[in-house]
Structure 1
Amino acid sequence: MTAVRNLDPSASPLDYYGSELRRLREAAGLSQAQLGSIVFCTGSLVGQIETTKKVPTRDFSERVDAGLGTDGMFSRLVGLVLRSQLPSWFQPYAEMEARATFISTFQPQLVYGLIQTEGYARAILGARTDEDLDGRVAARMERQRVLERSRPPATWVVLGEAALHQEIGGKRVMRRQLQHLLALHQRKWLDIQVLPFEVGEHEGLTGSFNILRFGDDPDIVYTEDFIQGHMTANPESIQEGSLRYDRLQAAALSVRDSAALIARVMEERYGEQPESDERSMA
């Protein structure tokens, strides 16, 4: 008989999720295979989630809630689980990002995390290692739920034109990513500008940065190096970051002209891509 791994529910949100899934499945008199059949997955996947070898997705959690009649418990818990999969140094920023009422971001080379497609995010996060890649991608997709709220944060994104040309994940992935940017153009609370190559030297040459604003709390500037992120509410840093961002916005193309450039790059550089683009399946 296969030994059942005992979990410490207090060890982490993932351990708590797994132990509760096992407890409630057994209370319902279901095997892993039977629950898998109910929620349209394999019994093996249920077992891997119960033993924390796999990270649950929001879709899985919603199906388990429906299958076990758990009144949304797993759908509420999965947010904590997925946030815990973010790098420990990034989690404080993610918590502040989820509370912000206004987000401004400048990204010179990559599309901002909150507006990445799953394929694009998978290619970026898997560039160095594919260890627990599914969990890390799910965590990034979970962050994007902040933009789905009834009153999402007003979000302004300035992308360097290089972000449109840097081929991430293959041509098919890039086409879908640029299509996604164009679709976001219709959202009331989100604007995207592109800083074109022709601008030359500009205020963002030192790298990407984000500014978070809140209803009552002080503003925050966030930057990253290749090791970790840095947040500060220092008034001088906020003033400097805000000034730089204003100048980047002024130098960038208008929202309408930015959409036109995105569409042009999408057609000229990425065109219609065949379904057999293997790199996009990574």
Structure 2
Amino acid sequence: MTHINVLDPGASPLDYYGYELRRCREAAGLTQRQLGDIINFTGSLVGQVETARKLPTLDFSERADAALGTGGLLSRLHPLVMRSQLPAWFQQVAELEVRATQMNTFHTHLIHGLLQTPAYARAVLGVIDEAKLDDRIAARLARQRIFEKGEPPHFWAVISEATLWQETGGREVMREQLAHLLWYVGHRQINIQVLPFSAGAHAGSQGSFTVFHFASDPAIVYTEGYSSGHPTANPDTVKDCSLRYDHLQAAALSIRGSAELIRRVMEDRFGEQVA
């Protein structure tokens, strides 16, 4: 409540969301506590969202929209709010994910963020820096809603076998994450292949990358370094990475063979241990 009168709606998407929530609530003649009671959240949380001190969830947004008769305003703002919480250098990539009709990704050491479970994301994002960890996890997981669109993108992931064996977050976290990958077997839009150790030297030895394809715009290649991202539409780079991806897919196990390997690692390395 302290900063409610000085909230600048132009400061950020989160500030704008809070401003609109407060405006709609007051127009409905409700206090923060009353609105909280209606949508089954605390009045304190309503106040924190209104003053841009707390991220709203999609559930919060949908319930508030229904209670305040906003016509879905807050739910439409929610993706913008979540994207604004991503690192500044990554926000452009999140926008590419929203616009893409197809994504071809190769990862050498981590499960792609669009396929991560909450626990796995917590383990990855919490290394060294735990500041605002819950908000950063929520922002990452919110990106996965692109698969819920009316026309979701085709997503093809080739991942190194090393990714399956790296114990990220502990045995239970890895078991859950690998089970999550298996859930996608047979999925219409999402395909996962594993590049096995037996493939030896391969076309992705220079590192992870993603090729974004669009309905009417040129393809874009994205590579990543420490706290920096590098998208490019350079035709030569796109051609080179597209060729590399073709070779990676050819060297990887089939979708079914990949699922068998994922299941074997999940059971043999991360299965329940009998004392």
Q: What is the TM-score when the length of structure 1 is the normalising length?
A: 0.92
Q: What is the TM-score when the length of structure 2 is the normalising length?
A: 0.94
Segment drifting more, 32-41 vs 70-79: 32-41
**Residues 89 and 227 in structure 2, CA contact (< 8 A), matched pair in contact too:** no
Q: Take 1:3 and 1:56, find their aligned partners in 2: how far apart are those partners?
A: 19
**Residues 208 and 224 in structure 2, CA contact (< 8 A), matched pair in contact too:** yes
**Residues 13 and 80 in structure 1, CA contact (< 8 A), matched pair in contact too:** yes
Residues 43 and 202 of structure 1: is their aligned pair in 2 closer, same or farther, counting only changes over 3 Å? same
Amino acid at match of 1:117: T
**Residues 8 and 16 in structure 1, CA contact (< 8 A), matched pair in contact too:** yes
Deviation at 1:37, TM superposition (A): 1.9
Q: How does 1:131-280 map to 2 (within 5 A)?
A: 131-272=131-272
Amino acid at match of 1:91: Q
* Pairwise CA RMSD: 1.7
**Residues 211 and 219 in structure 1, CA contact (< 8 A), matched pair in contact too:** yes
Deviation at 1:128, TM superposition (A): 2.6
Q: Take 2:262 and 2:143, find their aligned partners in 1: how far apart are those partners?
A: 24
Segment drifting more, 146-155 vs 233-242: 146-155
Deviation at 1:258, TM superposition (A): 0.1
Q: How does 1:39-188 map to 2 (within 5 A)?
A: 39-188=39-188
Q: Take 2:240 and 2:86, find their aligned partners in 1: how far apart are those partners?
A: 29
**Residues 55 and 134 in structure 1, CA contact (< 8 A), matched pair in contact too:** no
1:2-41 Cα shifts (integer Å, max 9, x gaps):
7453201111110011111122222223222222222222
Q: Take 1:167 and 1:93, find their aligned partners in 2: how far apart are those partners?
A: 27
Percent of aligned pairs sharing the same letter: 59
Q: Take 2:2 and 2:55, find their aligned partners in 1: how far apart are those partners?
A: 21
Q: Take 1:74 and 1:214, find their aligned partners in 2: how far apart are those partners?
A: 28
Q: Tell me the number of residue pairs that the alignment of Structure 1 and Structure 2 aligns.
A: 273
Q: Take 1:241 and 1:145, find their aligned partners in 2: how far apart are those partners?
A: 26
Q: Take 1:4 and 1:143, find their aligned partners in 2: how far apart are those partners?
A: 30
Q: Take 2:67 and 2:121, find their aligned partners in 1: how far apart are those partners?
A: 30
Segment drifting more, 255-264 vs 130-139: 130-139
Q: Take 2:188 and 2:244, find their aligned partners in 1: how far apart are those partners?
A: 24
Segment drifting more, 18-27 vs 244-253: 18-27
Partner of 2:9: 9
Q: Take 1:52 and 1:176, find their aligned partners in 2: how far apart are those partners?
A: 33
